[in-house]
Every structure is written in structure tokens, then in C-alpha cells.
């Protein structure tokens, strides 16, 4: 059972994660999955023996963390249901923001230095707004223009979606975690020779339309709003 007496806060603790997933893929997938609830400040996942199968996701706002806590409880993530609770201790990110941060022991100094460098690089990339809408993690949806998706060339509504402007490190599992939340999901198809695009199939066009409306402009990475159209048949 989950600990009931931990007060709600901006950080959630996740356990029962698949231990076979590599650390960086795990962090990217968690970011991809949870950023639909709001702006994420940090994702922490370690591969030390005591912390395998666990992770922490830190949100900018409490409401985002609360929505993720409620809606993603027991979500099948890499074939294992996630167990989620609020984190027992305040995240360093939040503590630094509200002025209550206390430095940790120096034995982690070198590790923290490398982590700070990584975060600084990521913060530069995420400086652009990454709003806290329930299904649009990039604020107001700005139209994404691509050579193939002008209004005149839009395919007629059907059950297959064509996804563009994906980061090259996107995996089919990351997309599956996003799109299977909507009824009628069947599969994700990616083309190895053409990174950055994918096809997502649903049972009918009404279901694919719902997914398109909710995930249009979703950012798997800060500078990559997804461009979703119906596939040409």
C-alpha cells in the first residue's frame, strides 16, 4: 500500500519500474509521459542497487503533480504497473526556488557538479515556455509548419495518424505510452531509415481524431512540438 500520510507536494515518487530499462531511456520516457500534466523541472532515476526500479519526477506546480499522481496510478509502464506516491522530502529544485535548500554532504560533490552542468545545458534548451495545461505541455498550440502538412495537402480523416517533428532519440515505446492513453489504440510504427516521423494506428477515425486533438503540439523535448496529421492512404 502507498503511504497515506505524506502531504501532497510538487514531487512524486514512482516505484515498481522495469529495472531492465537503461537509465537515459527511462528518464526520457518518464519525461515524455508526465510532461502532459505540466512543466517538469527534473526527472531523477538512479541505477544503484538500492534505487533500481524507482524514480522521482519534479513538477513546477502542485496541481500538475496531483493530476499525475491520480491519473497515472498503476499505469502500465514498460509492462509493469507504476506505483506512485508523493515524495517524502522536498526536491532540491523546489528547495532552491523557495530558499530552503541545504547543501548535502561533500561526498557527492563531484556527482553534483556533473549534474549541475547537465541541468544548466537542459535549462537553456527549456527556457522557452513549457506550460502546465493538462494535455498541452507547451502552452497555447502554435501551428507547426512543415513542407508536407499544408492545409491543402491534409489527408482525409482516417484511423492512421502521421507524426512529424519528433526528436531522433524518440522510441516506439515512448510514443506508445503517449498514444495508448486514448481509446482504440492499436500500434506505433516507426521507420528506422527516417528518424523523426512515425505512424500511429487506431481502430477508427473518431478515435484517431481524439488523440490528434489532445496531443497536437505535444513536446517530447522542449524544442520539438509534435505535428500530427492524418496519414495519406
- Per-residue pLDDT reduced to its tens digit, 170-179: 888 889 888 9
141 pLDDT tier (thresholds 50, 70, 90) = very low
Q: How far is CA 183 from the centre of its chain?
A: 19
pLDDT of 86 strictly over 80: yes
Instruction: Say which DSSP state 90 is in.
Output: -
User: Closest Cα to residue 198, out of 217, 219, 174?
Assistant: 174
Q: Encode pLDDT of 156-168 as tens digits.
A: 999 999 999 998 8
The span from the CA of 200 to the CA of 212, in Å, is 10
pLDDT of 65 strictly over 80: yes
Question: Where does the chain show beta strands of DSSP type E?
Answer: 11-15, 40-44, 54-59, 76-77, 80-81, 83-86, 160-164, 185-190, 198-202, 227-230
Residue 201 falls in which region: left (phi positive, over 0), alpha (psi -120 to 50) or beta: beta
| Range among 23-37, 115-129, 133-147 rated most confident | 23-37
Q: Residue 84: helix, strand or coil by DSSP?
A: strand
Amino acid at each position: 500500500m502507498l503511504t497515506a500520510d505524506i502531504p501532497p507536494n510538487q514531487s512524486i515518487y514512482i516505484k515498481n519500474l522495469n529495472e531492465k530499462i537503461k537509465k537515459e531511456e527511462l528518464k526520457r520516457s518518464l519525461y515524455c509521459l508526465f510532461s502532459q500534466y505540466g512543466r517538469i523541472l527534473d526527472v531523477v532515476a538512479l541505477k544503484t542497487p538500492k534505487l533500481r526500479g524507482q524514480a522521482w519526477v519534479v513538477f513546477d506546480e502542485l496541481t500538475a503533480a496531483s493530476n499525475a499522481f491520480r491519473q497515472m496510478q498503476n499505469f502500465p509502464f514498460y509492462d509493469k504497473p507504476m506505483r506512485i506516491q508523493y515524495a517524502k522530502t522536498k526536491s532540491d529544485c523546489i528547495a532552491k526556488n523557495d530558499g530552503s535548500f541545504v547543501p548535502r554532504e561533500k561526498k557527492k560533490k563531484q556527482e553534483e557538479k556533473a549534474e549541475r552542468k547537465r541541468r544548466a545545458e537542459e535549462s537553456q534548451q527549456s527556457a522557452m515556455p513549457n506550460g502546465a495545461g493538462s494535455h498541452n505541455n507547451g502552452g497555447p498550440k502554435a501551428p507547426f509548419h512543415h513542407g508536407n502538412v499544408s492545409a491543402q495537402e491534409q489527408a482525409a480523416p482516417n484511423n492512421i495518424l502521421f507524426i512529424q517533428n519528433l526528436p531522433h532519440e524518440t522510441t516506439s515505446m515512448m510514443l506508445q505510452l503517449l498514444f495508448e492513453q486514448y481509446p482504440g489504440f492499436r500500434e506505433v510504427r516507426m521507420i528506422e531509415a527516417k528518424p523523426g516521423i512515425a505512424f500511429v494506428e487506431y481502430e477508427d477515425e473518431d478515435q484517431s481524431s481524439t488523440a490528434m486533438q489532445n496531443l497536437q503540439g505535444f513536446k517530447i523535448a522542449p524544442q520539438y512540438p509534435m505535428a500530427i496529421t492524418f496519414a495519406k492512404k
